[in-house]
Structure 1
Amino acid sequence: MQEQVQSIEETEGLSQTEQYLTFQMIDKSYGLEILNIKEIIEYAEVTEVPMTPDFILGVINLRGRVVPVIDLGLLFAGQPVILTRRTSIIILEVKNSDLQLEIGIAVDVVNEVIDINDNDIEPSPSLGDKINTAFISGMAKVDKEFLILLNVEKVMSVDEFTIISSIQA
């Protein structure tokens, strides 16, 4: 019986490890939990869609499916992703409210998949009432620098999701 109590106590103290895809965008490191990622593709020609917000680059044809592609650099910092040989599109399955979408996000460089222990993740910073940080699920210290962990469902507002879903439809 004493052994059972000890093993329960040991397992309760264990933290969980999650896998994150890391990428660079505008000289900052970000991470996305791999559960939302469907695939990563090389940046290809994106067809512009008229009268859409600037952060929507357009759409791509992904094996017969129309997938909207957004520029996270424009959405976050007002700076577009710089297209190079290493620019990639991360295809995500995103849920927000009652909408479920498949979207692509253009990023400067995809790095690697890493394991991050829950104990190594700090909560998202509070920067005051006027700055929205809900899209940050946490901050992890990796190789002496902070990795901003994104909450995919909160990166865009419901209105922005509605615009993207109308493009996909």
Structure 2
Amino acid sequence: MAEVTALKNMQNGGQCGVFRHFLDVLEADGLYDIVVNIFVTIFYPIHLTIGLFLVPTLADIFKNLVIIITDVACSTKHFLFRYKQPKIRDIQHLLKELDERVVAPDEHNYFNTTRANVPRLCVMAGQLRLLAMRMSKVGYDVLKTLVVLDRDVNQYIEDHKKLLK
């Protein structure tokens, strides 16, 4: 009987449930991210540096030193990425908005070809080319009124401003 009660407690919020609740709170508040980043990017290099002074042979010192240098470089890259992350999200949002502006068949063809074959660094150049394709069609559609053409040109100017950001 006692084993069944203990098993039910573990399934319904016993020790495992308490630990899971603790992890849920950490994840919800972003504390989990902070704690993991502190341990991986700060304490691990400190641990390696302390270990550097405790190894007995010169070969071990060089092995440990290589790991320390690599870890410090990766940690620096990680912090720089985290620092730039808001700008990266803004750029991704702007690119998504510009991607949604692709409507004509020739634009779709160029867009799909570019997405499949070009590295991400060239996406801005592709978006600029798509904008130029759209702008080159201004005035050729006789069914569009001046009001519609004016709205299109204003939208192209807004798209160009987004690309300049």
TM-score, with length taken from structure 1: 0.21
More helix by share: 2
Structure-2-length-normalised TM-score: 0.21
Max radius of gyration: which structure? 2
